[in-house]
Amino acid sequence: MKLPILFGIHCHQPVDNFSNIVDEIIQKSYLPFAQIASRYKNFKFAIHYSGWLFEYIKNKNPQLFSLFKKLLDQGQIEIFTGGYYEPILSAIPKRDRILQIKKLNSFIYENFGVSPKGLWLTERVWDPSIIPDVVECGIEYLVVDDYHFISMGFHKDNLYGYFISEQDGLAIKIFPIDQTLRYFIPFKELNEIDQYLKEIIHKGGKGAILFDDGEKFGVWPKTYEWVYEKGWLEKFLDLFTSSKDFQFMHYYDFVEKNPPMGLAYLPLTSYYEMGEWSLFADKFIEMERLSSFLKKTEFQNIYKTYLKGAHWKNFFIKYPESNHIHKRLLAISKKAYTLNDPLLNEYLFKGECNDVLWHGIFGGIYLPNLRDNTFKYIIKAEKRITALEGDEKIKISDLLFDGYGCCTLRNRNLATLWTIKHGGQLKSLDLLESEINLCNTLSRRWEGYHDTLLRSKEESTEATTGITTIHEMNITLSEEVKNKIAFDWYDRNSFVDHIVENYTPEEIAYTRYKEIGDFTNQPFELIPKDDQIIFERKGGIYLDKMYKTNLKKSFSLKDKGISFEIEINSSFTKNLYYILEFNFHFFNYNKLKVNGKKVGDILSNKNNLFIIDAGDTMLEINLDKKTEAIVYLVNTAHQSEQGVDFTTQGVCVALPFKFRKELTVSGFIKVM
């Protein structure tokens, strides 16, 4: 009896990703894989392509789309479904996930004439509450990681098959993906893979289960040369399609020929690495160090049962920018449920694409273009709701689920979102005509991997064969680069209030000044008044003691701008500086000019600032007082599949005003 190999590839690109990037991935990964696979009739495998990517390939690369049909006609592929725009199913409402799955089911049936029985679970984020919904969509089985089972105490040697789980009396079959195979294919030499598969036979396993990213075959670092130019894939298929020990098998055939391994109830979890990534930075470091220690002890084979990271939704706490996006989508979803408008549904579903909401090895929330694409559909959806329901100029709600509430202020040109909990600040500045959020920025946060990047690291001396996976890359930075990495302790919104005794431009740019007020990230009281909103905080300045200080900010919208007035009254009687901070998002930072000068120059004695982005977007700040302007780019150093990426997240404009006891600053921000 040959051991069945259940082989699957999952392929996805973020909605509206750059066409040149998607085209390159098709040429380097999806197309050559399909071309080589089509020459091996005994290579039976599963494919999952997210709906947006399927649609893109159908319209832009008919050669590859025809290959899919050829592979199906040859009986080589089984097509898995999922959410059409690749949402995390447990992170979106019931209605949305059912409609997204059914949308991809319909696309598959209309184009390939088959109804999928298997479902790819986005990022393998498991929540048993989704079982009734996927069953309603005609799904019989799905795949998760073997870690899901191991974390519940299952033995790895007993995971070479499928299990039954249920929710509300509705059953689903669950296949555990073998993590060892995920790390071996396509990175290891064939003899190592062959040896491991034979070990499964010796353990009495019913099948070897692999379902992983298709981009590993050509797009991940060094894989194009390894998989195609050096012939790894052809050698792999030559060996295993003609083996006397193994046979490739479809998931539906395996289910028909094999009974389940038993019953299983799995926890809210994803794969092991995702649990690490979703931890707060200090806990990530602790988990890394603890796991490194345990790997050298008698617990090396069992520690993953007891050592767990955070739940995927912890990303909404870890990144306020992610929570902002997610909660606006939830609010749109509520409206979509009652309005039942097809166009609104489409905008919502595209916005629910998962990539922008988290960060691990891939850029995710750190990529401005992904955030731009999501905000585009959020703004489109909110405009559609306004068209269907009418306008509401001021709206106060607990949109962000922080218990403090926030305020939406809008007119026919702009929609603004203001946070109460964190400083009475502008969190979103949406240009309704161009569908851009000019406050789409990101704070420079300390990540767990910065601990490794910013300290010296010895090179690994362990012998290895094949090539390295992105989970195992060893990255070092020069001291010059390390010194340019900075971190923020507050959110990069606009109308951020700082009070300091003194400062230098460098201290401002690297957040190395001493904050002496309690206004930057603390709650304000919101007072709506006609078409105006007022934020006020009775706070303090902290030096030798606490000096009572009151800060009030008033805002209103006029045409394409925001009118503002800021008042400070303090019991402290000596000179201090109030720094008013703005953070804006543009598209071409290389060509960004402020009053005709490049970013980084100090602009002295100014009460008018003109920020222009290569002629596309222009923003003007008018003040009633002259001051110097400290303008700098907010750059992050974040992990990616290529190693470390340095990305500009926004431009900061810091305006210092000297004051004693009291200060009033008024002005107008205009978008052109």
Q: Is the pLDDT of residue 260 over 90?
A: yes
Instruction: Work out the pLDDT band at 493, boundaries 50, 70, 90.
Output: very high
433 is catalytic: no
Q: Mean per-residue pLDDT for 139-164? A: 96
Alpha carbon dihedral 288, 290, 296, 298, in 10-degree steps, equals: -140
Say how far apart CA 515 and CA 510 lie, in whole Å.
13
Q: Is the pLDDT of residue 583 over 70?
A: yes
Cβ distance 243 to 235 under 8 Å?
no
Q: What does the chain come to in residues?
A: 672
Cβ distance 528 to 478 under 8 Å?
no
pLDDT in tens, 499-523: 999 999 999 999 999 999 999 999 9
Residue among 645, 610, 617 nearest 631 (CA):
610
Q: Mean per-residue pLDDT for 362-387? A: 96
pLDDT at 474: 57
pLDDT at 484: 81
Strand partners, 211: 8
The helix-helix angle for 342-351 and 320-339 (nearest 10°) equals 160
Q: Mean per-residue pLDDT for 319-325? A: 98
**Strand order from edge to edge, sheet including 141-145:** 118-120, 141-145, 170-177, 163-167
Pairing of strands 77-79, 45-49: parallel
Supply 306's token pair: 């007891």
Helix and strand totals (H; E) in the chain: 22, 26
The helix-helix angle for 94-112 and 51-60 (nearest 10°) equals 30
Q: Is the pLDDT of residue 470 over 60?
A: no
pLDDT at 463: 45
Instruction: Work out the pLDDT band at 249, boundaries 50, 70, 90.
Output: very high
H helical segments located in 393-513: 450-453, 479-482, 505-509
H helical segments located in 390-495: 450-453, 479-482
pLDDT at 167: 97
pLDDT at 482: 79
Catalytic residue among 55, 213, 518, 601: 213
User: Range with the lowest mean pLDDT among 18-32, 339-353, 442-456?
Assistant: 442-456
Q: What is the mean pLDDT of the chain?
A: 94
**What percent of the chain stands above pLDDT 90?**
87
Catalytic residue among 123, 352, 491, 581: 123
Q: Output the DSSP codes for 187-237.
A: TS-HHHHHHHHHHHHHTT-S-EEEEEEGGGTTTSTTHHIIIIIS-HHHHHH
Instruction: Work out the pLDDT band at 456, boundaries 50, 70, 90.
Output: low
Per the model's pLDDT, the better-predicted residue between 117 and 611 turns out to be 117
pLDDT in tens, 24-45: 999 999 999 999 999 999 999 9
Q: Is the pLDDT of residue 461 over 50?
A: no
Q: Mean per-residue pLDDT for 239-262? A: 97
The residues near 365 (Cβ < 8 Å, ≥ 6 apart) are 315, 319, 321, 322, 356, 357, 358, 359, 371, 442
The residues near 219 (Cβ < 8 Å, ≥ 6 apart) are 25, 28, 29
pLDDT at 462: 45
Q: Mean per-residue pLDDT for 574-585? A: 97
Instruction: Work out the pLDDT band at 460, boundaries 50, 70, 90.
Output: very low
Rg (CA), the chain: 27
Q: Is the pLDDT of residue 469 over 60?
A: no
24 is catalytic: no
Alpha carbon dihedral 636, 639, 642, 645, in 10-degree steps, equals: 0
Supply 318's token pair: 């870890």
Helix (H) or strand (E) holding 11, with range, is strand 3-11
- Token look-up 């002496």 returns 516
Cβ distance 433 to 439 under 8 Å?
no
Q: Is the pLDDT of residue 191 over 70?
A: yes
The SS3 call for residue 546 is strand
Residue among 143, 282, 115 nearest 212 (CA):
143
Say how far apart CA 270 and CA 122 lie, in whole Å.
9
pLDDT in tens, 598-648: 887 778 888 899 998 876 778 999 999 999 999 999 999 988 776 788 999
pTM: 0.94
